[in-house]
């Protein structure tokens, strides 16, 4: 009974886990779609504002989005590693 309730709850309400799984499925299904485009696509299909999903983006998904943003030059490449200067 508890598992059925959880399943219904997950279907009705978007959790970080279900959201990440859905985005992964979209990226794998569409060859030329990156994570940023997949999130925008998901939001358009489900009539969700893109700004509202920021709360449910998991840390691994954030890293993948950051990687895409760096590849697309949406972010500056930063390096925290510094060489010792004598």
Q: How far apart are CA 66 and CA 72, in angstroms?
A: 10
Alpha helices in the chain (DSSP H): 2-12, 16-29, 35-45, 59-71
**CB contact set of 39 (below 8 Å; sequence gap of 6+):** 23, 50, 53, 57, 65
pLDDT for the residue 16:
87
pLDDT tens digits, 10-26: 566 778 888 999 999 99
Whole-prediction pTM: 0.74
> Mean of the pLDDT values across residues 68-79?
82
């Amino acid at each position: 009974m508890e598992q059925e309730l959880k399943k219904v709850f997950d279907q009705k309400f978007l959790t970080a886990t279900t959201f990440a799984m859905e985005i992964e499925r979209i990226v794998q299904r569409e060859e030329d779609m990156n994570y940023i485009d997949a999130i925008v696509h998901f939001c358009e299909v489900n009539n969700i504002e893109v700004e509202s999903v920021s709360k449910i983006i998991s840390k691994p998904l954030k890293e993948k989005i950051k990687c895409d943003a760096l590849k697309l030059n949406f972010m500056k490449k930063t390096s925290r590693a510094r060489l010792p200067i004598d």
